[in-house]
Amino acid sequence: MSTNPQIELSILVVSYNTREMTLACLDSIARETRASAYEVIVVDNASKDGSAVAIGNHHVRPRLFALNDNIGFARANNLAAQHASGRYVLLINPDTVVLDRAVDRLREFAEARPEAMIWGGRTVFADRTLNAASCWSRMTLWNLLCRAVGLTGMFPTTELFNGEAYGGWRRDTTREVDIVSGCFLMTPRALWNELGGFDERFFMYGEEADLCLRARALGARPCVTPAATIIHHGGASEATRAGKSIKLLAAKASLIDRHWSPLMRPLGLALLEAWPLTRWFARAAQAAVTGSAAASDTAAMWHEVWSARRAWRKGYDADGKLPLDGHPPAASAAPT
């Protein structure tokens, strides 16, 4: 492990079959990070597209761990963090592009708001429209109910009915949040180590929510700033929509199991299970009335997710696996 006292930031990247995007991400880190001493540590989760060789030859000279097996996002970041030497660790997705000194600006924000202990920025799509997935509110019975009965879809820009996504907030102001997305998350390495990093039961999705909720129990107040903005394409390592939804629901079930009281867990899980069921019925009805092929495809996707509920309703086990076949479906390496 490096012990270089001059390193301020250890930038951790987990890649999986995103060769060109990962190289563009590393290019942008090198181009836009001018005021922070940093190191880059990359874990490649057994990519089949030549990512490891290309990353190893990149001019930013990352420390590369090229794995023979896909160990998931949480385990891969924990592996990278074991070799970090910076005062801060910064998680950044491979399908991102750093804009306008965003890494430097996030470090400056961290130093101005040390009490937050976890910091994030603003994410946009390639066309610079808002990608609202940079932060989240914690799950509650109310927002699970709103999603299950369709209120979230009907009123996506109203925070009352879309509270988990802070509906209507453009991420254009500094704000304390419950959860900072792992696509662009900075925290002191000391806090990361105190928390033990990510809980490795979260093979995919939910790991940053769990981390932030555990950090809040220690007094952290996660905060995001629009001054640090990156492009986050999103979904680059996902094979199927159904696979993503199944992993997402498994992660949410695991969060309910870990962070909700025994009295509330059955209600939360029932509402979580109702979400794909009501989406399936709604899209099937739409397809029947309008003949829309897109609605029919979406209905089929939600039916697939609903049919797999035995796999995701109990969440991931201690090894990050789902109960039916012992392996997460459509395994990938970075959240979207």
The stretch 58-63 carries a mean pLDDT of 96
SS (H, E, C) 14-26: EECCCHHHHHHHH
224 backbone dihedrals φ, ψ, rounded to 5°: -125, 155
The stretch 75-100 carries a mean pLDDT of 98
Residue 78 confidence (pLDDT):
98
Share of the chain above pLDDT 90, in %: 88
The stretch 281-286 carries a mean pLDDT of 96
The stretch 44-48 carries a mean pLDDT of 97
Cα-Cα end-to-end distance for the chain = 29
Residue 19 confidence (pLDDT):
97
- In this structure, which CATH number among 3.20.20.450, 3.20.20.70, 2.40.50.100, 3.90.550.10 belongs to the domain 9-137+177-232? 3.90.550.10
Instruction: Quote the tokens at residue 227.
Output: 């001054």
Report H helices in 82-238: 102-112, 141-149, 151-154, 189-195, 207-217
Summary count for the chain: helices (H), strands (E): 12, 12
Closest CA to 190 of 320, 112, 84: 84
pTM comes to 0.92
For residue 219, the one-letter residue type is G
In the structure, what pLDDT confidence band is assigned to residue 327 with cuts at 50, 70 and 90? very low
Residue 334 confidence (pLDDT):
44
For residue 202, the one-letter residue type is F
Q: What is the pLDDT of residues 102-138, one digit of tens each?
A: 999 999 999 999 999 999 999 999 999 999 999 999 9
Domain boundaries, the chain: 9-137+177-232, 241-312
Residues 6+ away with beta carbon under 8 Å from 183: 91, 92, 93, 96, 123, 133, 134, 230, 232, 334, 335, 336
